[in-house]
Structure 1
């Protein structure tokens, strides 16, 4: 009978494929920072290009004017998507788990889709009622200016694609895909992962005031719970896109 020498056994172990593994708390957090930086660099590159293309003054006022431009915002949001996907691919490739499996990119039932839409409509409708009762704007004021700016550049269609397609894709892949997956399999567990990933997602929306940040947090908690119950990130991507599309249409309507 043939037998392996110690050297042969060591070589065989070295050639054996590494078993798939999920990043836990710190691995998810550190790679999450890398993914966020990649997205940020992609958006900054677009902003720098637009500043140079417009010949804006290198002053706070000049840069602010370009950054608030509807076309610039649209392009920067779109630029974030490929950067996030690339960084996610690099990170997930190290785990040995298929890209779609790691991020929960799997379908779900129509029943879950309907439940998700109804829950989102009820939640957002409740926030709108509170906003009106408090005498506040239903939509963030700056969004109307962004839409008007995009119209002036004939780029309203691009803004809709950026807000209703690109942003939901990379934000959900990051928050409910990457962060939730790793943190839910750490000591935090699913509910801790839902809460922490929702907080991180809310911090990514600091352009809003405290009221809208609270609304964003509540939506994040809903999306996180649906991700947990259905195992599907596609569901949260769909709901996120519908929410952003409805908010864009509502802002456009109110802005006249």
Structure 2
């Protein structure tokens, strides 16, 4: 069954939380999924390669302009993806907890969803960044480093494939399911899940954080309307791809093509 864009406006929302997880254990598990691999990775680097970490303060592992940084970021995200996949259970339980439904969605659906995400967040960012004289490209400096280096392909994989997968599974799949079945209801749960997801982007300006939070609510709305995590994953990926293209194409200074 292929679902078109009409599902976004017609009929009742399809979302129904289905998970054995209680809210507090789910919150703790989400913290483990989101933070555990990164903390473990930093500790491993400090233990296994102390001299390298000492020489540059570990900066080579924190920059997408280096292969060490790309490997570190990709490794952390893959571990987060594995953790959420395992913690969610197996078979039908995993599919229910993560909202991995069987429907497929049409090109028109994804085009509509992505256009909504990009237009709403784009207008919001234009107003906030312009009104308060905030440099929008300061929030994406870490992406620019990767895009203008030989590690550009690695930056693409991290931003467009790995990040949308594990973040959607963890926050708008696993955690949202556990919180939405409580008295919070779907939107109370979505606010909490998206506040936590937004906190992962803590290096952004306040305007950037507002934009991330609103984007999270839009992605949550897609899950609510369709009952599936798939639209959120794909739309998140398209949004990140647009951010990469915008950063590369409209930065104040010409960006060199990676060697």
TM-score (norm: length of structure 1): 0.78
In 2, Cα distance between the equivalents of 1:105 and 1:187?
24
1:212 and 1:21 mapped to 2: Cα distance? 32
Q: Could you list the runs of 5+ residues in structure 2 that have no partner in the other structure?
A: 1-17, 255-259
> 2: CA distance between counterparts of 1:161 and 1:92?
24
Residue 124 of structure 2 is matched in structure 1 by: 127
Q: How many residues align?
A: 231
Contact 1:77–1:166 (8 Å) recurs in 2: no
C-alpha distance 114-150 of structure 1, shift in aligned 2 (>3 A): closer
Q: CA contact under 8 A between 1:42 and 1:83: conserved in structure 2?
A: no
Report if aligned partners of 1:202, 1:216 keep a CA contact under 8 Å in 2: yes
Q: CA deviation at 1:230?
A: 0.8
- The answer for the alignment partner of 1:228 in structure 2 is 224
Partner of 1:103: 98
Q: Structure 1 23/105 Cα, relative in aligned 2: closer, same or farther at 3 Å? A: same
- Structure 2 counterpart SS, 1:70: coil
Question: Which is worse superposed, 35-44 or 75-84?
Answer: 35-44
Q: Distance in 2 between matches of 1:81 and 1:57?
A: 21
Larger Cα-atom Rg = 1
SS of match in other structure, 2:125: helix
When residues 209 and 26 of structure 1 are mapped into structure 2, their CA distance, relative to the original with a 3 A threshold, is: same
Partner of residue 192, structure 1: 188
1:198–1:219 CA distance, 2 compared to 1 (3 A): same
Equivalent residue number for residue 257 of structure 2: none
User: Where does 1:165-184 land on structure 2 (aligned, <5 Å)?
Assistant: 165-184=161-180
| 1:70 equivalenced with 2:65 (yes/no) | yes
Higher relative contact order (CA 8 A, sep 6+): 2
Distance 1:191 1:108, change over 3 A: farther
1:33 paired with 2:28, answer no
Q: Cα deviations across residues 166-221 of structure 1 (Å, max 9, x unaligned)?
A: 11111111111111111111221111111110100001110111110111111111
Return 5+ residue gaps in structure 1 as ranges. 1-19
* Selected match of 1:44 from 42, 45, 48: 42
Residue 159 in structure 1 maps to residue 143 in structure 2? no
Question: What residue is the counterpart of 1:118 in the other structure?
Answer: 115
Residue 84 of structure 1: how far off its partner (Å): 2.0
CA distance in 2 between partners of 1:76 and 1:25 (Å):
30
Q: Distance in 1 between matches of 2:152 and 2:46?
A: 21
Deviations 1:118-169 (A, max 9, x none): 2112212212321234433233x263455335644x1111111111111111
TM-superposition CA deviations, 1:82-140 (whole Å, max 9, x none): 3223322432228x84322320123453354233122112212212321234433233x
Aligned-CA RMSD value: 2.8
Distance in 2, matches of 1:145 and 1:91, equals 30
